[in-house]
Structure 1
Amino acid sequence: MLFIVSGRDKPGGLADRLQFRPQHRAYYAALEDDLVLAGPYLDAAGEPVGSMIVMRASDQQAAERYARADPYWTEGVFASLDVSRWDWFMKRPEDLTS
């Protein structure tokens, strides 16, 4: 199953985001093929203010557990975190398994 992990940074959190970025990226890179895509939300100035990750997990609970162990969540970079099951409907790669 596919899940969207959507985290929004706390206000003024850029310094914390940059501090924990290597750990955050390594954490999701460890998913290997179960990481489908990822990238930051940007504000009007082009600065990162959150993250969107599409990942594969066996169920909602597994996706929630994984997302809530992300360093951006555990270290307080994110003010909010949402995990939603998702179906890639349009322009889905033919070889994508969910």
Structure 2
Amino acid sequence: MDKMGYPVLTEKTIRLLEKNQYNFDVDIKLDKIEVKKWIELFFDVKVMSINSHRLPIKKKRIGAITGYTACYKRVIITLKSGYSIPLFSNK
């Protein structure tokens, strides 16, 4: 569960919510099968498909020290019709 990241909320991902697609950042070592099992177990939904891609690492520099941003994988999860994941709490 520590390897599952957090939901990604950008302008594009908000548009994808209309198509019943959700985006998550996960650890690079997770594969699609593990992500599917975790999402179905945790949110009690049925996953239709999963698309994933690795985001490029970027070089960062602070003074004389150079390094790289953290690398992770982004997955786009398409749920079957009738299912949804509550990303925002209604208070």
Q: Name which one, 1 or 2, has greater alpha-carbon Rg.
A: 2
Q: Which has the higher helix share?
A: 1
TM-score by length of 2: 0.38
TM-score by length of 1: 0.36
With a CA cutoff of 8 Å and minimum separation of 6, indicate the structure with the bigger relative contact order.
1
